[in-house]
Structure 1
Amino acid sequence: MFQEDTIAAIATAVGEGGIGIVRLSGSGALEIAGRIFKGIHGREVKDITSYQAAYGHIIDPDSRRMVDEVILLVMRGPASYTKEDVIEIHCHGGPIPLKNILALTLRMGARLAEPGEFTKRAFLNGRLDLAQAEAVIDVIRAKTDISLKMAMNHLTGNLSRAICGLRHNILELIAQLEAAIDFPEDDIEEVTAGQVDVAVRQILATLVKMMSTAQTGRILREGLETVIIGKPNVGKSSLLNALLGENRAIVTEIPGTTRDSIEEYINIRGIPLKVIDTAGIRDTNDKIEQIGVDKAREIMNRAGLILLMLDASRSLSAEDREVLGLIKEQPTLVLLNKSDLPSRLSQIELAPWVEDKQIIAISVTDGTGIEELEQAIVNLVYSGQVYQGDSVLVDNVRHVHALTQVKIHLEEVLNTIAANMPSDCIVIDLRAAWEKLGEITGDTVSEDIIDQIFSRFCIGK
């Protein structure tokens, strides 16, 4: 599916830097580069060996003006990222040199690449499957080393191989059943309904195990939205600063200091947490503070984890009880702050509110309990399991949806077998499951879904 046109885009981030890259891909990439690049000692693009860098200048062929001093890299297809001829022009990393070189390539016949079009061409030309292509953006957006390991795991094809293995097992069942249906007069070994039942249950077990990793995978990919709540002046901002290791939030003894939410990404032992420090929840006549309180309540409803802070040096107040009444069924860690002071918080009084919640005594002043808090977060995310770098985790909403549909179809196969229905009825759901799995790798996906996926990429990737 090689494209006839040639695309060009700036491949490096917007802003100033030591080096910027303009990338071209397509059948005309070498010719376009040859018209604007003048190598040292007259070296021409067509004479440059693949994966060999050449020093020279970009020259406007009309004005003969030098645009920039560059290094040019040639990657001839199919041994390139897109499997097409690819040119990379490494120039000075200012916005003007990059813009001028890109404009020159467009003037010479290239067109501006659409978001993600380089990776889309890699997919369409068979270098990557769809799951691997989606992993490219996860590598770029990884927030921790573990997030990066998971994304690289998918990029190298571990998830794809697991999906292809399931598809192969289902296809074998389909082939055996259809052969017996289409050629009843031939001496073909017919697979029994009991054998199909056993095989499908084994596939389902593998599928369910894979799906059980979805929550952990999503958190590692997107981050765990974590909100710190409590009454004013209980230590919420101090906890944010302690987790960050810097004074990000203003801390004073005056209640209501935090009026708006403060958001920061924090790396907790490889787990990306999007931590939100909210305004203290209380009744107030201050309109600005009340907006912050209302916003805190709204954030709580969507949070993946709540860190509820109480002052262990004081007995429960009406404001504490109001906050405790908000946590309901949401995942919550109850933090008893100021544990370095004499405790006045009655555990008996607290128990009805937090009987199913983990309670951790901390002191943001001297750091007591912070390591225990971090370990509790790790346990929640991994459900007590240890993530290995080569493990397959499902981290993509589209993949989870497809796997859910596969599970439904396979369960319907078992129901069909239990009802003693004919083999062709079994095949219908087996084939539907096989096709749904193919949507993950891109073997059976629609063009609309492909366009939607790559539209989320940045231009130049």
Structure 2
Amino acid sequence: MNDTIAALATPAAPAALAVIRVSGPRSREITDLLLRKPVRWHPQKAWHREIWDGAERLDDVVLLYWQQPRSYTGEEMIEVSCHGNPLLVDRILAAYFTRGARAALPGEFTQRAFLHGKLDLTQAEAIADLIHAGSLRSLTVAQEMKEGRLGRVLAGARTTLLELVAHAEAFLDFPEEDIDPEVGAGMLHRIDRLRDELLGLAGSAPTGRLLREGIVVVLAGRPNVGKSSLFNAILRQSRAIVSPHPGTTRDTIESLCQIHGFPVRLIDTAGHRTAEHPVEAEGVRRAEEALRSADIILHVSVAPEPPEADPVSRAPLLPHQRLLLVANKGDLGIHPERRSQLCVSTLTRQGLPELDRLLHQEIASLAPDASTGSAVNARQEAALRRAAAALERASAAFRAGLACELWCLELRTALQAVGEVMGAVTSEEVLDEVFRRFCIGK
């Protein structure tokens, strides 16, 4: 961390403004080399200056100085606000690089913030979720995680584990001081309660996946039942081509949207039929692939036809999947056997509000923990489950009256796993994996 790093912190696209971040021990020194009018640096104060590369004037900029340790990274840091032409940004960055700074790696600013103790690993990971949040609910959860909600819970769990380990090791060091039965029962209660708490946090992982990746809703059914029209109606925009001729959709069409604050990946698919053309066959194959990845399958049929006319509705589901049956073209009439089924019309918008409410109910049931503010990722889930398993083994060993050394070892294993989630004890490989998915400049 002795290097001084620089990178664009805003999107690399034409804009009114761009912000370049420079962090490290030589931030001010290198910036001074680009100025003809010197700056008397004061923390959190802005200066309007011209930046020069030798004899060539690059741009007039606003410089903001952040003093160590009160910066985002915990280091000396300068933010350069310049005009947002990518060519201009590249020239300013090149001027920094030729004077001793280097290009920041993806996530390196946040990694330095973590290494300087500005945030724990759960907060660092939440920053990436905050940047990429695709819905109001995922944004809210990411903000709460960034503010340290999960970190505070785990800090409490880690404190409890430290106390339990200290108590157990004191007993090992002083075997003549036997554990009082009430103290022993109290320890067992604390171990079991902590195990349940960690399992509860790990159980929020499916919700985290749905909030980060989006809930996959796939429209399926025979050709010419109006899947593309329904796709457009749900999106409230003309995204898919609609035609009265069967087989118009030959590929999957995907669009991101929000349904009552949840991120949704809505996928329109080719109609299920026996394909006579290689392109049609590929479209059907892709439709089947999309169905396997679906969280919710919205099976579309035709309202005037009897239910038995649509054999696809009998397709087996995977354990995690939900199936919603919707009959389209209700404006052409509704078959008597479909009276209890949801019938809609994309032409008259009949039944679409009811479909919207039904989708909301199913989506909310898939992500019941979205309001709790905790939605752990796959790495965090794995570590939490290891900790809970170790506590379960410690509890079993304690109940069986086994040697204190055995269940004390399990408590230490749990302590190690909880520390991995927070970053208290984390290998360099884990850190590289965590920050690798960040964007450059963050």
TM range (shorter): over 0.9
Whether the aligned pair in 1 keeps the contact of 2:25 and 2:75 (CA below 8 Å) is: yes
Alignment partner, residue 282 of structure 1: 273
SS of equivalent residue, structure 2 residue 345: coil
- Sort the Cα spacing of 1:395 and 1:335 in 2 relative to 1 into closer, same or farther, 3 A: farther
Alignment partner, residue 324 of structure 1: 314
Q: Which moved more, 1:378-387 or 1:329-338?
A: 378-387
How many angstroms does 1:90 deviate by?
A: 0.9
How many angstroms does 1:232 deviate by?
A: 0.7
Q: Which amino acid aligns with 1:374?
A: D
Question: Structure 1 length normalisation: TM-score?
Answer: 0.90
Post-superposition CA distance 1:66-97 (Å, at most 9, x none): 01111111111111000101111111101111
How many angstroms does 1:429 deviate by?
A: 1.1
Alignment partner, residue 123 of structure 1: 114
Alignment of 1:26 onto 2:8: no
Alignment of 1:380 onto 2:362: yes
Q: Which amino acid aligns with 2:431?
A: I
The match for 1:153 among 137, 144, 148 is 144
The match for 1:66 among 33, 53, 57 is 57
Whether the aligned pair in 2 keeps the contact of 1:243 and 1:266 (CA below 8 Å) is: no
Alignment partner, residue 50 of structure 2: 57
The separation in 2 between residues aligned to 1:139 and 1:118, in whole angstroms, is 16
Matches within 5 A, 1:200-239: 200-239=191-230
Q: Which amino acid aligns with 1:404?
A: R
The separation in 2 between residues aligned to 1:162 and 1:261, in whole angstroms, is 42
How many angstroms does 1:379 deviate by?
A: 2.9
The separation in 1 between residues aligned to 2:305 and 2:132, in whole angstroms, is 43
Q: Which moved more, 1:334-343 or 1:380-389?
A: 380-389
How many angstroms does 1:363 deviate by?
A: 2.6
The separation in 1 between residues aligned to 2:277 and 2:77, in whole angstroms, is 60
- Sort the Cα spacing of 1:385 and 1:147 in 2 relative to 1 into closer, same or farther, 3 A: closer
The separation in 2 between residues aligned to 1:242 and 1:49, in whole angstroms, is 56
- Sort the Cα spacing of 1:384 and 1:228 in 2 relative to 1 into closer, same or farther, 3 A: closer
How many angstroms does 1:317 deviate by?
A: 5.8
SS of equivalent residue, structure 2 residue 330: coil
- Sort the Cα spacing of 1:220 and 1:370 in 2 relative to 1 into closer, same or farther, 3 A: farther
How many angstroms does 1:385 deviate by?
A: 8.2
> How many residues get paired?
441
The separation in 2 between residues aligned to 1:326 and 1:420, in whole angstroms, is 49
How many angstroms does 1:365 deviate by?
A: 2.5
Post-superposition CA distance 1:385-426 (Å, at most 9, x none): 87676x332231111111121221122122212322122211
The separation in 1 between residues aligned to 2:317 and 2:369, in whole angstroms, is 29
Alignment of 1:133 onto 2:124: yes
The separation in 2 between residues aligned to 1:244 and 1:447, in whole angstroms, is 43
Whether the aligned pair in 2 keeps the contact of 1:135 and 1:154 (CA below 8 Å) is: yes
The match for 1:367 among 346, 349, 352 is 349
SS of equivalent residue, structure 1 residue 383: helix
The separation in 2 between residues aligned to 1:131 and 1:295, in whole angstroms, is 37
Whether the aligned pair in 1 keeps the contact of 2:303 and 2:338 (CA below 8 Å) is: no
How many angstroms does 1:237 deviate by?
A: 0.8
- Sort the Cα spacing of 1:7 and 1:257 in 2 relative to 1 into closer, same or farther, 3 A: same
RMSD: 2.2
Post-superposition CA distance 1:190-235 (Å, at most 9, x none): 8744322221221123223323332222211221122111111112
Alignment partner, residue 69 of structure 2: 78
Post-superposition CA distance 1:271-292 (Å, at most 9, x none): 0001110111111212212211
Q: Which moved more, 1:339-348 or 1:124-133?
A: 339-348
Q: Which amino acid aligns with 1:307?
A: L
SS of equivalent residue, structure 2 residue 211: helix
The match for 1:436 among 417, 421, 430 is 417
Matches within 5 A, 1:153-172: 153-172=144-163
SS of equivalent residue, structure 2 residue 266: strand
Question: Structure 2 length normalisation: TM-score?
Answer: 0.94
SS of equivalent residue, structure 1 residue 66: strand
Gaps of at least 5 residues in structure 1 are 352-358
SS of equivalent residue, structure 1 residue 346: helix
The match for 1:302 among 286, 293, 297 is 293
Q: Which amino acid aligns with 2:352?
A: I
SS of equivalent residue, structure 2 residue 434: helix
Post-superposition CA distance 1:6-35 (Å, at most 9, x none): 011111111111111221100000000011
Alignment partner, residue 171 of structure 2: 180
Q: Which amino acid aligns with 2:441?
A: G
The separation in 2 between residues aligned to 1:385 and 1:147, in whole angstroms, is 11
How many angstroms does 1:361 deviate by?
A: 3.1
